[in-house]
């Protein structure tokens, strides 16, 4: 019990629950099971994307192109569906994952082989992928009229009271938990985040591990490309514009250290849920949109401060580089 009380995830879960209960006092029914299921469904894509970003941040990198990857793959599958509505939806979803994987591989190869900082590479591909959307669509939008009913309704099918979109988030979360805690790749991702120098001596290929992390973030971005277009029934160059900052914010609030090596799947999920609850709760209690932005920003800054203090107390750095005197 004492160990549980010391975990960041426990206190973040308490904060999320407290926000729900406090909002319920002002708006009775907010804490009902139906409304909470709706909030989870609205946050499902952010949860999936935050988990993909977590894998990258743990390696001391960052992927700023996830939202652009999402928008590009979403536009591609929307155009394919408009031209060939008979293609099965699972096949389109698989194609979206492959497209996202290839875009993530492009990022990873530039970082691995050319040793370019991840923030520089993904900042560039963020713009490149948006430009590709404009080129392949000719500046046009793909609206609901051009999409098949099956394409739009697939994620809305309910199973055991929850839409498929929510179940996708649950399955992806379980998959990431197993990946990060039960596989050699997950252990390698944490290791190079804690100390890449020591990881080399342990036989871990740092470049290949980072490349694998970008493959993961690209694949989940492509998967969410279909989910986004299906849910919001729109494909355009403006889809998810600026959403990459929300993804990073969810990770930081969830305790994923921007210095790498520290963070959990539960933390990323709770960080996404924290933002999801805020986005729904603040308008319900008539908080100004300007204050909503300020509160979200303050939460991010507070999370970074807490992360930094926790890392200093926990002796996170296991191999300190020292200058050898001449």
Q: Please compute the mean of the pLDDT values over residues 32-40 and round it to a whole number.
A: 88
Q: In angstroms, rounded to a whole number, what is the distance separating the alpha carbons of residues 263 and 253? A: 10
> End-to-end distance of the chain based on CA atoms, in angstroms?
51
Q: Which of 68, 187, 194 is nearest to 130 (CA)?
A: 68
The answer, yes or no, to whether residue 112 has pLDDT greater than 80, is yes
Please, which residues bridge with residue 225 across strands?
none
Which secondary structure element, helix H or strand E, spans residue 163, and what is its range? Answer: strand 162-163
pLDDT in tens, 234-280: 888 888 888 898 899 899 888 888 888 888 999 999 999 988 888 88
Greater model confidence, 78 or 1: 78
Q: Which of 51, 53, 96 is nearest to 244 (CA)?
A: 53
pLDDT in tens, 195-219: 888 888 888 899 999 999 999 999 9
Q: Who's near 23: CB < 8 A, 6+ residues apart?
A: 30, 31, 277, 281, 284, 285
Q: Please compute the mean of the pLDDT values over residues 28-32 and round it to a whole number.
A: 83
pLDDT in tens, 130-153: 999 988 887 788 887 888 888 888
């Amino acid at each position: 019990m004492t160990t549980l009380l010391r975990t960041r995830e426990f206190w973040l879960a308490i904060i999320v629950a407290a926000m729900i209960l406090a909002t319920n006092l002002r708006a009775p029914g907010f804490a009902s099971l139906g409304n909470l299921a709706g909030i989870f469904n609205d946050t499902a894509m952010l949860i999936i994307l935050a988990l993909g970003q977590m894998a990258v941040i743990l390696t001391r990198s960052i992927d700023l192109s996830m939202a652009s990857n999402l928008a590009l793959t979403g536009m591609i599958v929307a155009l394919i569906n408009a031209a060939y509505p008979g293609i099965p939806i699972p096949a389109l979803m698989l194609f979206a994952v492959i497209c996202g994987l290839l875009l993530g591989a492009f990022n990873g190869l530039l970082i691995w082989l050319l040793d370019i900082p991840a923030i520089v590479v993904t900042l560039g591909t963020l713009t490149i992928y948006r430009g590709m959307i404009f080129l392949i669509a000719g500046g046009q939008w793909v609206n609901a009229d051009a999409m098949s009913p099956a394409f739009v309704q697939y994620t809305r099918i309910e199973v055991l009271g929850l839409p498929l979109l929510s179940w996708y988030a649950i399955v992806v979360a379980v998959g990431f938990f197993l990946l990060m805690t039960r596989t050699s790749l997950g252990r390698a991702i944490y290791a190079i985040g804690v100390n890449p120098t020591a990881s080399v001596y342990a036989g871990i290929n740092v470049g290949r591990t980072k490349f694998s992390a970008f493959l993961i973030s690209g694949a989940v971005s492509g998967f969410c490309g279909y989910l986004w277009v299906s849910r919001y029934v729109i494909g355009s160059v403006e889809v998810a514009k600026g959403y990459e900052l929300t993804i990073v914010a969810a990770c930081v609030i969830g305790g994923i250290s921007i210095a790498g090596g520290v963070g959990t799947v539960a933390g990323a999920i709770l960080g996404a849920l924290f933002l999801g609850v805020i986005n729904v709760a603040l308008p319900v209690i008539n908080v100004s949109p300007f204050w909503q932005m300020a509160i979200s920003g303050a939460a991010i800054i507070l999370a970074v401060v807490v992360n930094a203090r926790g890392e200093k107390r926990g002796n996170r750095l296991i191999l300190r580089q020292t200058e050898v005197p001449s």
